[in-house]
Amino acid sequence: MKKNKIRNLPECERPREKLQQKGAEALSDIELLAILLGSGTKGHDVMTIAESILKSLDGGKGHASLEELQKIEGVGLAKATLIAAALEFARRRIRPEGLKISFPADVLPLIRHYADRKQEHFICTSINGANEVIKSRVVSVGLVNKTQVHPREVFADPITDRASAIIAAHNHPVGDLTPSMEDKEITEQLKSAGETLGIRLLDHIIFNHKDYYSFLEHGEL
């Protein structure tokens, strides 16, 4: 049996019970999806299905059609419809667009949920001239402790957004927030590319569940 099956978890660590005891904010994205799904299907545990859906959503920058969702093993029309409806409901009620940024780290509440990912997710947040959030997007997903990203991929959407600045960020699955040589190199590349394009790099933030490392706050920008 797979370790992530709900019946193998201590009762206090099962999604529903955990939410009741600690609140929804204490749950990972997979756990929240598992509660929405309610149950698995024959041969597919609900936690496994939730993990597959999450990977699909991350790869599609938070969007997935009914057809795409139904390609996931264990997801039929009913579950696909439920997830699509939940995503649309959330989009209509929770709008990070327009959030005022006083300091680059103010974007952390919008992206902190990526801290529980097993792979690095490189995220770019477009900022307008009034220091307001236009959009946060996943640019690339990498290996356990490394993501491959190129400036052209990072700036593609901000150019379309007519952004005046960006905040780059990525999670460190291993927990250590110390910037790697690659982190420093991509920061310099983004800063240089931004100067050429007229879109400032406000900060590059490395984060986990509890803390973060800011290149700006450490005087490295």
Task: Tell me the per-residue pLDDT of 91-149, one tens digit each, with 9 for 90 and over.
Answer: 766 666 667 888 888 899 888 888 888 888 999 999 999 999 999 899 988 865 666 78
How far, in Å, CA of 201 to CA of 197, rounded?
11
104-214 folds as: Cytidine Deaminase; domain 2 (3.40.140)
Per-residue pLDDT of 7-49, as tens digits, reads 677 777 788 888 888 888 888 888 888 888 888 777 788 888 8
The burial class, CB within 10 Å (0-12 / 13-18 / 19+), for 78 is exposed
How far, in Å, CA of 93 to CA of 217, rounded?
32
- Burial string for 91-110 (b: 16+ CB within 10 Å, else e) reads eeeeeeeebebeebbebbeb
Crossing angle of the two packed helices 46-59 and 77-93, in degrees rounded to 10 = 50
